[in-house]
Structure 1
């Protein structure tokens, strides 16, 4: 009896638990936080302020923000606007991907750039003291040093690694930061270079040499051969008489030999036309010729 009562109680608990499980509603999807989008819009506003300060437009907030960036980063002030714009684009187009590393690398670009230019252009020497930060701040506002942050970083690196090694080190770090912010890797660049389409150069067709061919003479009529002109000499004994020229056919206006056209027999000359039109005149009788005078011989007596 005890076993049967335990089975019933367990079955009832199972049924109640199943029924309770079915009655529960699915939890609503959690909304994604919008703090990234808000930070992105704030960075866009700051970027616009820096760009306006580049143009020399003065306002209370614009001037204050420009002085702050110049005092902190010095020469790096010129890359603050591009760096903040890149960070804003990364935050606004994250699509759920992690963006903290990319944004940090983008915002560190002006710091390293200010330190690198400070080591190359700044000729003023700063000694380690309590007033070095104030001097770097003032020179950074005047864009004559790397500012309080980039200047201290540059001076410390030069003191530890020397100026030559520091320039190489900061250049490499700056390239790495830019590639990380743009999400580029060396392997991806190599793969992109290998996968680019290869264009084979098409061989140019050889131009044939210019051959000059003589002009062909006009073809003669079929069945007509060139006439050979043979003029016999009077003094040459037994000279053969020239063969009579072949007569033209009736109704044939003329014929061509070479480039010349022969006159047709039906064509009359102007003298023939005038002679046919003039009337025939009677012939005049010929006058008798006088007889020659006979010479008389004198008679000798």
Structure 2
């Protein structure tokens, strides 16, 4: 009897164990399903909170970003300006060197020349001292009666200042001077062209003296060297010395512009050698910057305070005065 009861109890225990085992998965699944649901809910909350924090930070830092952009926009031009001013401490600026030498070596020595003459010389040289000039400058110096030597001296002094600006040895000033009396024949066209290109490429300046003796056909090579479309050596200057002699009286010299005097003189001299098209193109290249050189009457005086003022001449631009002072002090002028 007791054995039967024990077997029934054992069977009942097995049945309860199997029922518990079969029902054990349901609470686990329920728990897992609840965790997954809670995890999905937490991810949605996190994404919403992240967007909220992002837009809040965006609204917070937007004024600072705008202020930073404005500050950078204002600072960059100031830094570039400071870098440009820092260049004043060196002699690498060509314009500073030229203006220094022009004020102390040309304007101080040739005090009898007019303000218009000085301004035209500065304009012609400043054109080639830019970063990317389009074509070379041609400075035509008309020598009035008894001013031929003064004209050559001014041309050579200007050439020396230009060579110093480009850091070329100014002792070679004789090498850049060409006597146009050596080119009186049409056969000298290519010789003149080669001599010009050699000096324009190396020394950046050429001085042509006695230009009234050059052959007109040879002179037409200047149209190619100073071409507006394509110039082989745009960063160079050609200084032409033209002796007009006694062709014009005193009233014409004072009453007419140098450009008109040059066109009249060269037009009459080359009338039978060039056609109208070649004449117009050549005169357009030559007479664009023409100056009338007067005979120098004032003796050279270099001590301080001896420079007489030239009425109407304002000197170099204000932004170059500091560079001129530093260049003068470093070159011990």
Pairwise TM-score range, normalised by the shorter structure: under 0.3
Report 1 or 2 for greater relative contact order, CA contacts < 8 Å, sequence distance ≥ 6.
Answer: 2
More strand by share: 2
More helix by share: 2
Q: TM-score, normalised by structure 1?
A: 0.19
Q: TM-score, normalised by structure 2?
A: 0.17
Return the index of the structure with the highest Cα Rg. Answer: 1
